[in-house]
Homo-oligomer: A and B are copies of this chain.
Amino acid sequence: VEKEVIQYLSELVSIPSLSSDISMKPEVIKVTELVKSKLIELEAEVKIVENEVDGKNPILLAKIGNNINKKTILFYSHMDVQPALKDDGWDTDPFILTPKDDGYLYGRGTNDDKGPIVATYFAIKKLLEKGDLPVNIAFLYEGEEESASGGFEETVSKHYDYFGKIDGVLVLDTSWFTDEKPSLDYGFRGISYNSIEITGPKKDQHSGLVGGIIREPMTDLVNIFSKLIDLEGRVLIDGFYDDVLPFTDKEAKLYENLEFSIDELRSNIGVTELISSDPKQIMLNMWRYPALSIHGIEGAFYGQGGKTVVPGTVKGKVSMRLVPNQDPDKIAALFKEYVEKEFFKLNSPNKLHVKNLGNGDWWYGDLNNFLFQAGKKSIIDYWGIEPDFARSGGSIPIIPFMEKIFNAPAMGLGVGQSSDGAHSQNERIRVKNLIGAIEVIKNTLTNCS
């Protein structure tokens, strides 16, 4: 099966299905059509629906089986990928699947999510070859995940009854928590992404002219930036931590069995040290405490070398990862209020405009439901070890959305490893993980029934 797996993944990777670039829309359509044709080989009923948001990519809905005496399990993955250029520092062409001697397949999307899509396909194919499916299968594959799942909620809200009753949602869009042990995911952080726009001169200026005679927008922006978090990483926005749930003893137990190597994570990220040397603290900071990142500036000079431009308008980009029970809308409002307060202190003649660019809910799943029981058993059977029960610092706000609209619990089933570099250069997946995922998915469906 390995050869066929590599063949299908290779076809998927060769299509640069970027959702971030409108000119690549035909590529996302192409990958959607390819996935459709493969599902039809499994005798699935497939429907591609237009995205309810203009310009956003269509969504693929499919189902196999309609036995009302069986559970129906829905698979979620995304077919779009992060941007990638060879020049960004890739060792190989990101859109040519390249197997290497290290047992990995390199290419954009191998881990996130083209590998998982391939594993799901072959798992179901194997079940079909054995005879009847233990459950009905549904597929909900989108093409906008890397662009904040644009239009997903609107579109699924319109078409969700295509599936009928759903009993569980399997999310295949995560990696193992470590490189050594499979994991099942039960939580994601939420997110609030905001911009701080500061406008001074009506046009970009030359520092030879305005240097020393105006308050430059960049000066104000870096001042605000410097007041968002302290050196320990604590967010300084008033009221930011008010709704973060207290850490309980019961919760603490969940972390006791996790084998987590701070050195491995440190080395994967490529830093000399993490913010703490206590593995438990690092896990908590990643999974169950919020954080703030400054991503960059739109409108400022970003090229190589030197340019003496004084930007007229700059937009600082800041996001916050949120946790139970922080409300993203409330946090965005607190952010705005705080930035406005700090800007006022600067007594600047420039204009400030704080804008929310998007919010997403956190997810916190129930480890006691049938999905996690089935997943755990399948992993133990195939890999011979208990999985890690993991949360993630990232955000997939459509998971809590799917739980609500389908009135069914969700579980994340990791396919690749933590060091695969899902959004980075040289993204990869281990062949062993793909083959293992096929078996685990197959058995999970059986154990669910």
**A384 interfacial contact with B, CB 8 Å:** no
A319–B295 touching, CB < 8 Å: no
Q: Which residues of B contact A270 (CB under 8 A)?
A: 201-203, 312
A216–B306 touching, CB < 8 Å: no
Q: Which residues of B contact A274 (CB under 8 A)?
A: 213-214
Per the 8 Å Cβ criterion, residues 284-320 of A in contact with B are 285-286, 289-298, 300-312, 317, 319
**A108 interfacial contact with B, CB 8 Å:** no
Q: Which residues of B contact A294 (CB under 8 A)?
A: 216, 218-219, 222
Per the 8 Å Cβ criterion, residues 35-62 of A in contact with B are none
Q: Which of A238-246, A405-413, A419-427 contacts B (4 or more CB under 8 A)?
A: A419-427
In the complex, A305→B214 CA distance in Å? 28
A309–B423 touching, CB < 8 Å: yes
In the complex, A306→B195 CA distance in Å? 8
Given contacts A291-B207, A294-B222, A306-B319, contact A349 B273 (CB under 8 A): yes
A20 CB to closest chain B CB (Å) equals 8
A436 CB to closest chain B CB (Å) equals 22
A348 nearest CB neighbor, chain B only: B231
B226–A425 touching, CB < 8 Å: no
A283 CB to closest chain B CB (Å) equals 9
A270 CB to closest chain B CB (Å) equals 3
A226 nearest CB neighbor, chain B only: B226
In the complex, A293→B215 CA distance in Å? 10
A304 nearest CB neighbor, chain B only: B298
**A336 interfacial contact with B, CB 8 Å:** no
**A380 interfacial contact with B, CB 8 Å:** no
Q: Which residues of B contact A309 (CB under 8 A)?
A: 295-296, 423
A207–B319 touching, CB < 8 Å: yes
In the complex, A303→B307 CA distance in Å? 18
**A110 interfacial contact with B, CB 8 Å:** no
**A191 interfacial contact with B, CB 8 Å:** yes
**A99 interfacial contact with B, CB 8 Å:** no
B393–A209 touching, CB < 8 Å: yes
In the complex, A149→B24 CA distance in Å? 40
Interface size on A, residues (CB 8 A): 88
Q: Which residues of B contact A229 (CB under 8 A)?
A: 219
B212–A291 touching, CB < 8 Å: yes
**A66 interfacial contact with B, CB 8 Å:** no
Kindly identify which residue among B218, B226, B276 contacts A296, using a CB–CB cutoff of 8 Å. Answer: B218
Copies of this chain, how many? 2
Per the 8 Å Cβ criterion, residues 336-386 of A in contact with B are 346-350, 357-358
Q: Which residues of B contact A223 (CB under 8 A)?
A: 226, 231
Given contacts A302-B300, A306-B193, A423-B206, contact A213 B282 (CB under 8 A): yes
Q: Which residues of B contact A307 (CB under 8 A)?
A: 20, 295-296, 317
**A148 interfacial contact with B, CB 8 Å:** yes
Q: Which residues of B contact A215 (CB under 8 A)?
A: 231, 233, 275
B347–A211 touching, CB < 8 Å: no
**A128 interfacial contact with B, CB 8 Å:** no
Q: Which residues of B contact A289 (CB under 8 A)?
A: 212
**A271 interfacial contact with B, CB 8 Å:** yes
A111 CB to closest chain B CB (Å) equals 12
Given contacts A269-B205, A300-B297, contact A212 B392 (CB under 8 A): no
Q: Which residues of B contact A296 (CB under 8 A)?
A: 218, 297, 300-302, 307, 309, 311
A221 CB to closest chain B CB (Å) equals 8
| Residue from A214, A300, A307, A309 with most neighbouring chain B CB atoms (10 Å) | A214
A205–B308 touching, CB < 8 Å: no
**A210 interfacial contact with B, CB 8 Å:** yes
Per the 8 Å Cβ criterion, residues 243-292 of A in contact with B are 265, 269-276, 282, 285-286, 289-292
Q: Which residues of B contact A186 (CB under 8 A)?
A: none
A207–B302 touching, CB < 8 Å: no
B212–A286 touching, CB < 8 Å: yes
Q: List 6 A-B contacts (CB under 8 A).
A: A201-B270, A209-B393, A211-B319, A214-B274, A219-B229, A222-B294
